[in-house]
Chain A
Amino acid sequence: AQTVTQSQPEMSVQEAETVTLSCTYDTSENNYYLFWYKQPPSRQMILVIRQEAYKQQNATENRFSVNFQKAAKSFSLKISDSQLGDTAMYFCAFMKPGKYIFGTGTRLKVLA
């Protein structure tokens, strides 16, 4: 069975600093997608970034980038130049046909 593990329940970072959120997953599949979603206090789920497993190049979206290590089944999110608006729950998600599984989330607080 596929599982997604986020081992950091809570993290904090100073404004303008860089923070990395960890995610590991377990699968025997070769073709799948990985995502990071952000859930601010409004509780809206917002897609932050996605990574196709067949692509070796790490995805980047402005201040957000991932470190995808397929062999290690690791998919971490790096947030550069953290902003107060980045304060939210961050969920890692795994997708393959018939499965869209989320981790338990990391609560990130950006400190002024």
Chain B
Amino acid sequence: DSGVTQTPKHLITATGQRVTLRCSPRSGDLSVYWYQQSLDQGLQFLIQYYNGEERAKGNILERFSAQQFPDLHSELNLSSLELGDSALYFCASSVGGGPGRNTEAFFGQGTRLTVV
């Protein structure tokens, strides 16, 4: 168990809908990262938050948004869903936001999103 909790584990929804994925980082971790992994693909970096503020942005679509709350949990909102958004969405957390001690990211088990 990595200590990173993602809910829900599975989600099935229809095209055009909106969903929210939730991530609780490890205790003490300030950074949260979101990644998208389509079937048999690598991990695409979406966005990073550090202590409530957006720190880095990757290939995140405009239909997607995220935030990190004061208690450091994070939510990823996906709207106007398309079939191609079906993927495994990972959240990861780390103590820092960059190089330093204990900066490796620990991953949650992912949320498997299926858009039908």
Known: A102-B43, A105-B42. A95 touches B103 (CB 8 A): yes
Q: A44-B107, A44-B109, A102-B42 are in contact. Are A32 and B99 (CB under 8 A)?
A: yes
Name the A residues within 8 Å of B109 (CB-CB).
Answer: 43-44
Nearest CB on B from A74, distance (A): 19
Residues of A within 8 A of B45 (CB): 100-102
Whether A97 contacts B97 by the Cβ 8 Å rule is yes
Judge if A50 is at the interface, Cβ distance under 8 Å.
yes
Q: Which residues of B contact A35 (CB under 8 A)?
A: 104
User: Would B56 and A98 count as touching, CB distance under 8 A?
Assistant: yes
Q: Work out how many contacts link A and B, with CB atoms closer than 8 A.
A: 60
A interface bracket (residues with beta carbon within 8 Å of B): 20 to 34
B103–A98 contact, CB under 8 A?
A: no
- B55 near A: Cβ within 8 Å? yes
Residue among A32, A95, A100, A103 with max Cβ neighbours from chain B (10 Å): A100
Q: Which residues of B contact A99 (CB under 8 A)?
A: 56
Q: What are the interface flags for A78-112 relative to B under an 8 Å C-beta threshold, 1 for contact and 0 otherwise? A: 00000000000001000111111111110000000
Given the known interface contacts A44-B109, A45-B92, A45-B107, the answer about A103 and B99 at a Cβ–Cβ threshold of 8 Å is no
Using a CB–CB cutoff of 8 Å, the interface residues on chain A facing chain B are 31-33, 35, 37, 43-47, 50, 52-53, 91, 95-105
